[in-house]
Structure 1
Amino acid sequence: MKTFEDLGLMPELLSAISELGYETPMPVQEEVIPYLLEADHDLVALAQTGTGKTAAFGLPLLQKTVISENKPQALVLSPTRELCIQIAEDLREYSKHLGGVHIVPVYGGASIRNQIYELRRGAHIIVATPGRLLDLIRKGEADLSCVRQVVMDEADEMLNMGFIEDINSILASVPSERSTMLFSATMPEEIGELSLKYMKQPREIVIGRRNEGTASVRHVCYTVHAKDKYRTLKRIADFYPRIYGIIFCRTKAETQEISERLIRDGYNVDALHGDLSQQQRDYVMNRFRLHNIQLLVATDVAARGIDVDDLTHIINYSLPDETEVYTHRSGRTGRAGKTGISIAIINMKEVGRIKAIEKIIGKKFEIGKIPSGNEICKKQIFNLIDRIEKVEVNEDEVAEILPSVYSRLQWLDKEELVKRLVSLEFSRLIDYYQEDEDFDAGNHTETRKDRVRKTSGQAPESFSKLFLNLGKMDGLNPQKLLMMVNRTVPDDVEIGRIDLFSRHSVFEVQSDMARSVIDGLMTLKRNGRQIKVDYATEEQVARQLERKKQRKDARSASRKDRSVSGKATQGAARK
């Protein structure tokens, strides 16, 4: 096993990381640090959240910094304010023995005047969110002309958030003779396109397998009727008395609704979503980091970049719109060698989506059995007993009040005292589960794909054709289209024929559900584009089918030409 000394780091950095308690490098650090110290390489590194990526790129950046040159020499881009702040703080910790390294974080939601002041003082490394950095570039306050190294951290998240145009503009301000490093948890097609555009023969370092989930995370799935999702959530929260985690919802409205219901039911939770001001978000996050909040209910956008240690659970109350986002969610637990549990609560129509996630993470979900009321009460009581057994008694603090306590309680024997303690602590749970009937996860395995009805020619009268502004160039395929419908339409919908074109698609849907499908899909975005869908006109359908036929004929003619050319060449060779 290698040590940090073996990686070629300078003594000042070794002292800093030793004081931080780093003993041996994590796999991504062991691979990346020597490679980046060796020369100015381009790099694509795939590793899960919480695997030590910041130190992997940060330590080489600091070692290559020329302190006497008081201009930005390195740029780190991150998708969110929270991650930007965290990276800057980590870099400052690593560089505390270097002396004079100035690291400036710039991000939205904070005073731009203060950030301009810091940049004018001189910065060796800028850590930035794309939007705020672009504002500073346009104002002439961020000079990137001397930047020699660019890092894009959580690159897939930046692309999901629609930052590609900002990134293009930022990199246009950076010298072309630079090294570019791209760190990501997943490898969607857009990451490959980004590396082709901005990198020169990058080395790809993969820790684990592409897009796979963290090895220390268990994945558990509860399949229930939609009406039972909230009941299932409550039972999971009650069954794990020491739970400390994030509940992910799909929309801001759902996030607010679930958090309010949990608070009314006596749970220690708060919400994090896009309607909160930056000051409110900071307040909630500080309480969560201090464990003053046990469960955080959040949307993906609000939770991006959150760096919180020791999360025990991630609960997917709603599956993410993009299947790859599940990897980011689950990667927030099971970090730094600890174990965690990622739970998905799904309805009967989402079984197919779980299978798609399994392919990405390279693991099978465990089938969760919803705990009974009796099991939950036992678990809570044993947790109380455990806390009582392990509590540290400060004799001096309690000595003065103990005689009065003994006097008041002397009429109770041990058994009666225990009964009253349990009743006092768990009366809410006991009363609730006496009235709430036990139920179990369903065993429904049929997916929407199993119900797809393929037709040919004209659609039956009971079906309507819809025109969608997404096609093959957007990565759309029949399975993804079906998933989109499943996510946005609560009722069963029968899908007929699907025709995919380059930039558009036409598909059949049962007529009485067509308006629900249109309204549902119009709430989504894909690859930063607003989805548009409407009833397809006969002219649209005919035009698209004709173009498809022309392309097919052209490909067929091209294959014939190549075949004739090949035969002619072979004939010439025989002569």
Structure 2
Amino acid sequence: MTIRFDEMELQTPIIRAIEELGYEEMTPIQAQAIPVVLEGKDIVGQAQTGTGKTAAFSIPILQKIDPKVKGLQAVVLCPTRELAIQVSEEMHKFSKFMHGIKAIPIYGGQDITRQIRSLKAGVQIVIGTPGRVMDHMRRKTVKFDKVSMIALDEADEMLNMGFREDIETILKEMPEDRQTLLFSATMPQPIMEIARTYQKDATVVKVVKKELTVPKIEQYYYEVRPKNKVDVLSRLLDMYSPKRCLVFCNTKRQVDELVTALSSRGFFAEGLHGDLKQQQRDRVMSSFRNGKAEILVATDVAARGIDVDDVEAVFNYDVPQDEEYYVHRIGRTGRAGRTGRAFTLVVGKEVYKLRDIQRYCKTKIKVMPIPSVNDVTAVKAEKILDRINELMESEDLSKMISLIETKLNESDYTALDVAAAFLKMAMGNDNQPEEQAAPDFGDTGAEQGMVRLFINLGKKQNIRPGDILGAIAGETGMPGKLIGSIDMYDKYTFVEVPREYAADVIQVMKESKIKGKSINIEPANRK
């Protein structure tokens, strides 16, 4: 059963703001949490990004704030500055028609004197990161004596980032009779300990796992070779041409490299990671929100708290390290009842990691063939022809028809020739070289998905397995963890590498040396 916002006993200005934002029915976490919080009870809410949890605590906080009292009445703790800004923006949207309410975000990386000036001017709600809130506590620029509510948003992430001690210090300083709201995507033991210690008979509400995985998302994966990842991603971007999409990488370096690679191919891409200054991050997010950048490439930590609607697709350029990260990543598309798409690029043994993710999410991620140039061309043509249909139905084209008729009368071309030339022009240059097929190594006696290679060095040459692993990983750039079993004998060694990497490993290692010794490397014969 769905509950409408106007069924709740909320102040008229809040209802007016909610209606203006276009929200009518509550999401499951809002329907369960808001009535409990309005009753004044403590709450533990289990909900992930994209479930509407920010409104689940923001609306009741605004409902309970007394605008006549200028002192601090509510505190929201967030793991990152991005999330603090995000929550602050939501609060401002919901309080648009309320008078005398002031909510500010406080976080590291922003001039503290500016924050102190704002706090001294009288603020009822502070949304901040634990470190910066502690800083203001030490400076006595925040006073908790009038605080009646505190919310912990993404509590599990705050603990992962090492904020447990800070959170407990802040909670200990709060008045005894305050209301404590705790929201977390997962419920590990430390979260439950905090709930038991600092909450009074908390009501537990949760969105069941099935709803967390967002069933309206079509999920696909592609098995690729490492050196072809940028090519495959570019083809998928060309093929689906999403107006706004997120691309996730596991490292800051990869984010920078991918943004450079995509930009050089004519895509409008921006990068987001922990090394950016606040001003740069704000510029990147503004560029993504207003559509100047159609692709945002980010690390998991930097993307926490980004809450942009109408993200049409999510691309996992790297398979996430953690199953939960996968859920967080793909949950950023398919919002508000729309259908979203998620694509994952998988190299070698990473396919086993993807199987773990499927089990965890209780979802199906379909394997897809890498799209050929012809596939991309066909899909692009189809999209352009759809737009032409809309144009023909909605616009007066009589002037254009007259121009075309004149051209046809002056030449030997048919209307079909002219239409085909326009289509070609609209599609741009699609004459990309077709991807080469991976060489067939046959059965080398390796486990599935791997190729067993022979190397003409062994124990007698003082070579150790670590030397082989280090040389292959170092020379090819392949992560060492992807290298399979290494069987070492007196005069030779067998090593297993993912099939996608095998050709590159053979090519690169032929020119290399291990401990100063030249090597011969080739596919092994069957065991």
What TM-score do you get using the length of structure 2 for normalisation? 0.78
Structure 1 pair 34/242, CA: closer, same or farther in 2 (3 Å)?
same
Determine the structure 2 residue equivalent to 1:517. Answer: none
Equivalence map 1:85-124=2 (5 Å): 85-124=85-124
Structure 1 position 87, deviation (Å): 1.6
Determine the structure 2 residue equivalent to 1:266. Answer: 266
Residues 45-89 of structure 1, C-alpha deviation per residue, up to 9 Å, x if partnerless?
122322221221111111111223221111111222222222222
Structure 1 position 403, deviation (Å): 8.0
Structure 1 position 289, deviation (Å): 0.8
State the alpha-carbon separation in 2 of the partners of residues 118 and 213 from structure 1.
Answer: 40
What TM-score do you get using the length of structure 1 for normalisation? 0.72
Residues 481-535 of structure 1, C-alpha deviation per residue, up to 9 Å, x if partnerless?
xxxxxx9525414499xxxxxxxxxxxxxx999xxxxxxxxxxxxxxxxxxxxxx
Structure 1 position 162, deviation (Å): 2.9
- For the pair 1:338 / 2:338, whether they are aligned, the reply is yes
State the alpha-carbon separation in 2 of the partners of residues 7 and 242 from structure 1.
Answer: 38
Residues 244-267 of structure 1, C-alpha deviation per residue, up to 9 Å, x if partnerless?
211111111111111111111222
Equivalence map 1:376-415=2 (5 Å): 376-391=376-391, 411=411, 412-415=413-416
State the alpha-carbon separation in 1 of the partners of residues 115 and 416 from structure 2.
Answer: 64
Structure 1 pair 392/92, CA: closer, same or farther in 2 (3 Å)?
farther
State the alpha-carbon separation in 2 of the partners of residues 217 and 188 from structure 1.
Answer: 27
Of 223-232 and 26-35, deviating more is 223-232
Q: Which amino acid aligns with 1:52?
A: G
Determine the structure 1 residue equivalent to 2:435. Answer: 436
Structure 1 position 39, deviation (Å): 2.3
Residues 277-316 of structure 1, C-alpha deviation per residue, up to 9 Å, x if partnerless?
2222222211111122121111122222111110111111
Structure 1 position 377, deviation (Å): 0.5
Determine the structure 1 residue equivalent to 2:165. Answer: 165
Whether contact under 8 Å (1:48, 1:214) holds in the other structure is no
Structure 1 pair 488/136, CA: closer, same or farther in 2 (3 Å)?
farther
Q: How many residues align?
A: 459
Determine the structure 2 residue equivalent to 1:294. Answer: 294
Structure 1 position 243, deviation (Å): 4.9
- For the pair 1:255 / 2:255, whether they are aligned, the reply is yes
Structure 1 position 187, deviation (Å): 3.4
Determine the structure 1 residue equivalent to 2:313. Answer: 313
Structure 1 position 24, deviation (Å): 1.7
- For the pair 1:216 / 2:232, whether they are aligned, the reply is no
Whether contact under 8 Å (1:76, 1:126) holds in the other structure is yes
Of 292-301 and 198-207, deviating more is 198-207
1:150 partner SS: strand
State the alpha-carbon separation in 2 of the partners of residues 11 and 395 from structure 1.
Answer: 43
Q: Which runs of 5+ in 1 are unaligned?
A: 449-460, 465-486, 497-510, 514-575
- For the pair 1:79 / 2:70, whether they are aligned, the reply is no
Determine the structure 1 residue equivalent to 2:442. Answer: none
State the alpha-carbon separation in 2 of the partners of residues 204 and 134 from structure 1.
Answer: 28
State the alpha-carbon separation in 2 of the partners of residues 400 and 300 from structure 1.
Answer: 52
Whether contact under 8 Å (2:246, 2:297) holds in the other structure is yes
Whether contact under 8 Å (2:230, 2:261) holds in the other structure is no
State the alpha-carbon separation in 2 of the partners of residues 231 and 251 from structure 1.
Answer: 19
Structure 1 position 385, deviation (Å): 1.4
State the alpha-carbon separation in 1 of the partners of residues 447 and 76 from structure 2.
Answer: 45
State the alpha-carbon separation in 1 of the partners of residues 315 and 193 from structure 2.
Answer: 32
Determine the structure 2 residue equivalent to 1:28. Answer: 29
- For the pair 1:132 / 2:123, whether they are aligned, the reply is no
State the alpha-carbon separation in 2 of the partners of residues 224 and 122 from structure 1.
Answer: 56
Whether contact under 8 Å (2:36, 2:203) holds in the other structure is no
Equivalence map 1:196-215=2 (5 Å): 196-209=196-209, 212-215=212-215
1:432 partner SS: coil
Structure 1 position 239, deviation (Å): 1.8
Q: Which amino acid aligns with 2:232?
A: T
1:288 partner SS: helix
Determine the structure 2 residue equivalent to 1:542. Answer: none
Whether contact under 8 Å (2:38, 2:60) holds in the other structure is yes
Q: Which amino acid aligns with 2:254?
A: E
Equivalence map 1:447-486=2 (5 Å): none
- For the pair 1:361 / 2:352, whether they are aligned, the reply is no
State the alpha-carbon separation in 1 of the partners of residues 438 and 54 from structure 2.
Answer: 45
Structure 1 pair 73/357, CA: closer, same or farther in 2 (3 Å)?
same
Q: Which amino acid aligns with 1:208?
A: V
Of 51-60 and 5-14, deviating more is 5-14
Whether contact under 8 Å (1:153, 1:182) holds in the other structure is yes
State the alpha-carbon separation in 2 of the partners of residues 427 and 23 from structure 1.
Answer: 43
State the alpha-carbon separation in 2 of the partners of residues 271 and 95 from structure 1.
Answer: 32
Q: Which amino acid aligns with 2:15?
A: L
Determine the structure 2 residue equivalent to 1:492. Answer: 483
2:209 partner SS: coil
Please list every run of at least 4 consecutive aligned residues from structure 1 whose deviation after the TM superposition is greater than 6 angstroms. Answer: 392-396, 398-409, 461-464
Structure 1 position 31, deviation (Å): 0.9
Structure 1 pair 241/54, CA: closer, same or farther in 2 (3 Å)?
same
- For the pair 1:184 / 2:184, whether they are aligned, the reply is yes
Determine the structure 1 residue equivalent to 2:52. Answer: 52
Whether contact under 8 Å (2:372, 2:435) holds in the other structure is no
Whether contact under 8 Å (1:370, 1:439) holds in the other structure is no
State the alpha-carbon separation in 2 of the partners of residues 272 and 150 from structure 1.
Answer: 30
Whether contact under 8 Å (2:156, 2:191) holds in the other structure is yes
State the alpha-carbon separation in 2 of the partners of residues 341 and 89 from structure 1.
Answer: 27
Determine the structure 2 residue equivalent to 1:526. Answer: none
Structure 1 position 445, deviation (Å): 9.3
2:247 partner SS: strand
Whether contact under 8 Å (2:41, 2:203) holds in the other structure is no
Q: Which amino acid aligns with 1:50?
A: G
Q: Which amino acid aligns with 1:103?
A: A
1:348 partner SS: coil
Structure 1 position 393, deviation (Å): 10
Determine the structure 2 residue equivalent to 1:304. Answer: 304
Residues 387-421 of structure 1, C-alpha deviation per residue, up to 9 Å, x if partnerless?
2232499989x999998888678645422222322
Structure 1 pair 179/5, CA: closer, same or farther in 2 (3 Å)?
same
Percent of pairs with identical residues: 37
Structure 1 position 92, deviation (Å): 2.1
State the alpha-carbon separation in 2 of the partners of residues 414 and 495 from structure 1.
Answer: 65
Q: Which runs of 5+ in 2 are unaligned?
A: 440-445, 451-462, 467-477, 488-492, 496-527
1:337 partner SS: coil
Determine the structure 1 residue equivalent to 2:326. Answer: 326
